[in-house]
Structure 1
Amino acid sequence: MTAMDERELVLARKERVAEGVVCLTLREPDGGAVPEWTPGAHVDLLLADGLERQYSLCGDPADRSALTVAVLREPQGRGGSAFVHDRLTEGTRVRVRGPRNNFALVDAPRYLFLAGGIGITPILPMVAEADARGVDWRLVYGGRTRTSMAFAGELVAKYGDRVSLRPQDETGLLPLDSLLGTPEPDTAVYCCGPEPLLAAVEQRCAAWGPGALHVERFSPKADADAGPRESFEVELAVSGRTLPVPADKSILEVVEEAGIPVLSSCQEGTCGTCETEVREGVPDHRDSLLTEEERAAGETMMICVSRSCGPRLVLEL
């Protein structure tokens, strides 16, 4: 990804779509076409005060007139959602980076979509795509209350009983044992939502086999940064420099301090912006994004959080 992926869009419409959730419609200032994207993609909003946040695109990929995101106010958050809710107004220009897709919809004979709360946003265009393909699919959508579940009404109106709404105050937690207890061949499971839901789904899908489960996180796993922090060297193959990485700094910090430009965003190992090719060495993966197969391959790493299993790494930087 390059700086050319960054652009300034205008907030053309801001509307409340559920309790604590606003939907933003972003357009090119000159009315031109917005970048192409596919279901599962997200963008970074570069807000004031140095805030950068990632939000899933939830509109129609065929509609090149606008990009649409929905943002939940997080009372215990770090300020990004509060900024969006309280300070962004219609007509405001917003810096946007992307789109980028780490959660692409694979081809499958059938799909089981599981969404928790605002995790419905990347699932919306996936459901539309699956329905357009004419394949078998179902969506189970949970939330705290019915009024907190964005887009719930329109999903049921459009797709009927393929959509199961499960407000927690009415039906309890999602019935994951019945949904995932028996592996279903040729079924791709897509899940997005709060970390407890993702962890529970991952546990129950362990028997489904590699490649069956697809999840997206916007906060790191609880144990993502577990393990010792040793110092090591990183050789930058493009820049021709070798830099020491002390135990108390990340590769990203060391590279930036050396004056080498690298795109980054979340700095938590969830967004994929700083994903870097590994030429030599074994990464100590501490991200919350790569699959187990991608980790085992060791071809790329997130340099904002991941480290080295040995004394030296060679990176494509």
Structure 2
Amino acid sequence: MNKQLHTEYELEVVAREESADGVVALDLQRPDGAPLPDWTAGAHIDLVLDEDVVRQYSLVELGNNETCWRIGVLNVHDGRGGSRRIHESLTIGTIVRARGPRNHFALEPAQKYIFIAGGIGITPITGMIVEAERRGVPWTLAYGGRSRSSMAFADCLEGQFGDRVDIVPEDERGFIDFKTLLEKPDQNTLIYCCGPEPLLNAVERASEEWPAGAMHFERFVPFETGDAKPNEAFEVEFAVSGVVLEVPADKSILQVADEAGIDVLSSCAEGTCGTCETYIVSGEVEHRDSVLSAEEKAANKSMMICVSRAACPRLVLEL
């Protein structure tokens, strides 16, 4: 694993603005103004609000400013409390810890892109648009939300990129017409989509005829794995630590590792953030995460140990 992903930085909030109803945009930089690590379109960082509260936020735009990271945070009133704390406590001058950047939603090469965003799902897409521009690749964006006032960065994107950006507020225009948008499968086009689960499900249904590998999603909540097998016990060998332990049916690999004092970073514990990604030395895995693509899961090179399990009697992991 890249050790940079596990490095913590102390960052200062140097700018804060309300970019939409319920959405605050924060600019973060090191207190001494030193450059921050490079990042690529689709990347996110972990904000460490305290030892038990770590949240992931996509980086906004592929910046020219090497000393500053920008994030957009929606205040989720029925969430787990992290976004509410950010809205209430992170003001200009506040110091916050961060890790990363990490990217499980990278922009692959293509001859054309269709970007689709719902609500705060626009945040990783902003960097993809800027990167597509840099590459000189044609693209379009369909961006939906409850109302224009709730859609962060909408005016900026529309003003900068014109009719390539289709802003679809539900209270003015209804829902995005995915059937028309995706009616012509194209082997040279990739589709990148981020937003709430109903939007992702609608895009999946509308893109069923598209070539395998054309669709790329980033989810806020775990993907439903209705065909997951019942949990069974298995052995795991932690190759670096030199420890072999049993993972019982009622515990995850992450829990067993933590109880044994094996140091592994984690955050969501539900297979959506990618923080606990671990390399597989040997053994087959039943992947239950919402991070890896179908191709990555088939390659069986890494796994999210918070939710995925062995599909064999013994796994060997690089921990």
TM-score range, shorter chain: over 0.9
Partner of 2:27: 25
Q: Tell me which amino acid in the other structure corresponds to 1:288.
A: S
Matching of residue 197 in structure 1 with residue 227 in structure 2: no
Matching of residue 75 in structure 1 with residue 77 in structure 2: yes
Shift of 1:49: 6.3
Deviations 1:26-55 (A, max 9, x none): 011101111111111100000036211000
- Match of residue 287, structure 1, among 286, 289, 300: 289
Partner of 2:255: 253
Partner of 1:113: 115
Shift of 1:198: 1.4
In 1, Cα distance between equivalents of 2:264 and 2:255? 10
Shift of 1:133: 2.2
Equivalent pair of 2:187/2:211 in contact (CA under 8 Å)? no
Equivalent pair of 1:38/1:61 in contact (CA under 8 Å)? no
Partner of 2:217: 215
Shift in CA distance, 102/169, structure 1 to aligned 2, threshold 3 Å: same
Partner of 1:89: 91
Partner of 1:188: 190
In 2, Cα distance between equivalents of 1:133 and 1:260? 42
In 1, Cα distance between equivalents of 2:277 and 2:17? 34
Partner of 2:13: 11
In 1, Cα distance between equivalents of 2:182 and 2:140? 13
Deviations 1:185-219 (A, max 9, x none): 30010100001111222233232122211111232
In 2, Cα distance between equivalents of 1:237 and 1:149? 47
3-state SS, counterpart of residue 289 of structure 1 = coil
3-state SS, counterpart of residue 206 of structure 1 = coil
Deviations 1:271-295 (A, max 9, x none): 1111111122211111001111111
Shift in CA distance, 294/156, structure 1 to aligned 2, threshold 3 Å: same
Equivalent pair of 1:2/1:263 in contact (CA under 8 Å)? no
Matched ranges for 1:128-139 at <5 A: 128-139=130-141
Q: Tell me which amino acid in the other structure corresponds to 1:246.
A: P
- Misfit runs of 4+, over 4 Å: none
In 2, Cα distance between equivalents of 1:76 and 1:193? 17
Structure 1 range deviating more: 112-121 or 206-215 = 206-215
Shift of 1:132: 2.5
Partner of 2:178: 176
Deviations 1:111-151 (A, max 9, x none): 00000000000111111121232221100000010100011
- Match of residue 274, structure 1, among 266, 273, 276: 276
- Matched-pair identity in %: 56
In 2, Cα distance between equivalents of 1:181 and 1:233? 47
Aligned CA RMSD, in angstroms, stands at: 1.5
Q: Tell me which amino acid in the other structure corresponds to 2:3.
A: T
Unpaired segments ≥5 residues, structure 2: none
In 2, Cα distance between equivalents of 1:218 and 1:30? 33
In 1, Cα distance between equivalents of 2:51 and 2:292? 30
3-state SS, counterpart of residue 129 of structure 2 = helix
Q: TM-score, normalised by structure 1?
A: 0.96
In 2, Cα distance between equivalents of 1:27 and 1:279? 37
Equivalent pair of 1:144/1:169 in contact (CA under 8 Å)? yes
Unpaired segments ≥5 residues, structure 1: none
In 1, Cα distance between equivalents of 2:284 and 2:92? 48
Shift of 1:225: 8.8
